[in-house]
Structure 1
Amino acid sequence: MTGEWTVPRVKSGIPGFDELVNGGFPKGTTVLVTGPTGSGKTTFAVQFVYKGVELYDEPGVIVTLEERAVDLRREMRAFGWDIEKYEKEGKIAIIDGVSAVVGLPSEEQYVLEGNLNTEDFLRYIYRVVKAIDAKRLVIDSIPSIAFRLKKEEEIREVLLQLNTILLEMGVTSILTTEAPEPSRGKISRYGIEEYIARGVVLLDFIEREVELKRYLLIRKMRETKHSMKKYPFEIMSDGLVVYPSGEIY
């Protein structure tokens, strides 16, 4: 007798979201979170790691390539998230990928040097993931990888390498990227990120009664059933919340 295969799930830690993906992200998948500036991509990604530790005891790594680790910690304290507490416990690691690029000294435990090539960049992330036995990984953001490695013209090759090593590590990963004009179908900076990732979540704005409202759309998620509707979400005092019953058509 053959039993039905059940896909192992990783809870997102985002209220309302897991209902839209049949109980959580497929374990070990790579998800692209895309959207215009200010849509909540970094909050979504960091919440995934922070709540992974707080609620499910799953260590996580955050690679921050757009702002210094110290600034990221400060911003996330606004949600009541004490990232530093879990860093001291060895359950969260923040890799500072900004300081060296802008020529600032860094006192962080994990720092990317300013002149790493693609292979060294990926190898360093791999080492940190293994060092804390991470189950979750965030890289914020893909355009900053291209800028940092001066490989923008070879971004496809870099992303293919990145996706391969993420799958090899077995972590469940979120990558963020910019969506310049999602209303016109351009949902990523380079137009190829969505083809490499196994899942794509779009965060965007829609105008309702002379006011901008946030919405979320799952464009793709392999290995699971998922909704294809637009759902409202808000960034509250304690993080991001999705409203599965409040569909935007």
Structure 2
Amino acid sequence: MSTTYTKVKTGIPGLDSIISGGLKQGRSIVVSGPPGSGKTTLGLQFLYKGAKDFDEPGVYITLSQNINEIKNDCKMYGWDFDDLVSKDKILMIDARPFKISEESIGKDDSLYRGEQMPFEHLTKLILSSIKRIEAKRIVIDSITILEMQYDDEFYTRQGLQGLVQALENYGVTSILLSEIVEDNKIPPEWFVSSGVIQLRHSRKQDTMERSLQVTKLRGVRHSDQIHPIELSEDGLHIMHPRLTP
């Protein structure tokens, strides 16, 4: 297996060491997990560290949460997204299908335009955002919101394939967040992406334990083990697997 590819450091302590020093540049990686497993934190940490420490501008697309809420949540880790946004190092885009305005909820047709699966519109929005700040990193949170609009898995997979192909053609390294609820169902984004990282959480006595496992990473040597996640004051830390007697 070749190791001569350009590596993109995630900036997440402990993660790069289990993926041969970094992600493969220009590839799309799915990060899947249930609610509360740390998906959004991982995606935002990837963008923040990329812009701040590695001079790699990034675009964050939210399909589920208010941008101001996201930025306020990030302050608990010491991440000042407003500063990076003002310097055109980060672009944060609210692409939610529904917006709350004046105590009412209405459909936002600026992106969706009445279509069930607006992959084409979303792709155009992302590509124009890439050009605007010369982005090197992209995070979409979450791709599941788009998939839920279609019953036919063929059309879902076709739309995902076009989105992933467009991103990889532009050479940006992308993280697509994916919500997993059913353990026995493999989501379509796993098939079209270059890599899959699974996040999990479980209850142990009175605490929640989070963990990470790299399930697939094409062309990159990686650990197959389940690694505990520690959530500290500066974000996620990926730990060595615990040794059991």
Question: What TM-score do the two structures reach when normalised by structure 2?
Answer: 0.88
CA contact (8 A) 1:202 1:216 kept: yes
Following superposition of structure 1 onto structure 2, how do residues 203-218 of structure 1 map, counting pairs within 5 Å?
203-209=199-205, 211-218=207-214
Percent of aligned pairs with the same amino acid: 34
Which residue does the alignment assign to 2:161?
Answer: 160
Which residue does the alignment assign to 1:171?
Answer: 172
2:136 paired with 1:138: no
- Per-residue CA deviation, residues 25-48 of structure 1 (Å, 9 max, x unaligned), is 011111000001100000000100
What runs of 5+ residues in structure 1 fail to find an aligned partner? 106-110
CA contact (8 A) 2:37 2:200 kept: yes
Which residue does the alignment assign to 1:108?
Answer: none
Q: CA deviation at 1:5?
A: 5.9
Q: CA deviation at 1:234?
A: 1.5
| Cα distance in 1 for residues equivalent to 2:220 and 2:47 | 21
- From 86, 89, 111, give the equivalent of 2:87: 89
Corresponding pairs, count:
233
SS at match of 2:98: helix
Which residue does the alignment assign to 1:195?
Answer: 191
- Per-residue CA deviation, residues 205-243 of structure 1 (Å, 9 max, x unaligned), is 234456431111000001110000001012111101011
Q: Which moved more, 1:238-247 or 1:168-177?
A: 238-247
Residues 57 and 112 of structure 1: CA distance in aligned 2, closer, same or farther (over 3 Å): farther
Residues 103 and 97 of structure 1: CA distance in aligned 2, closer, same or farther (over 3 Å): same
Q: CA deviation at 1:152?
A: 5.0
CA RMSD of aligned residues (A): 2.2
Q: CA deviation at 1:77?
A: 1.0
| Cα distance in 1 for residues equivalent to 2:151 and 2:79 | 34
Q: CA deviation at 1:96?
A: 0.7
What runs of 5+ residues in structure 2 fail to find an aligned partner? 103-107
CA contact (8 A) 2:41 2:235 kept: yes
| Cα distance in 2 for residues equivalent to 1:237 and 1:60 | 23
SS at match of 2:214: strand
Instruction: Give the AA of the match of 1:91.
Output: K
- From 63, 69, 72, give the equivalent of 1:71: 69
2:24 paired with 1:26: yes
CA contact (8 A) 1:36 1:181 kept: no
SS at match of 2:112: coil
Residues 38 and 5 of structure 1: CA distance in aligned 2, closer, same or farther (over 3 Å): closer
Which residue does the alignment assign to 2:219?
Answer: 223
| Cα distance in 1 for residues equivalent to 2:121 and 2:31 | 25
CA contact (8 A) 1:12 1:25 kept: yes
SS at match of 1:81: coil
Which residue does the alignment assign to 2:123?
Answer: 122
| Cα distance in 2 for residues equivalent to 1:112 and 1:235 | 37
Which residue does the alignment assign to 1:104?
Answer: 101
Residues 72 and 90 of structure 1: CA distance in aligned 2, closer, same or farther (over 3 Å): same
Question: What TM-score do the two structures reach when normalised by structure 1?
Answer: 0.86
SS at match of 2:49: helix
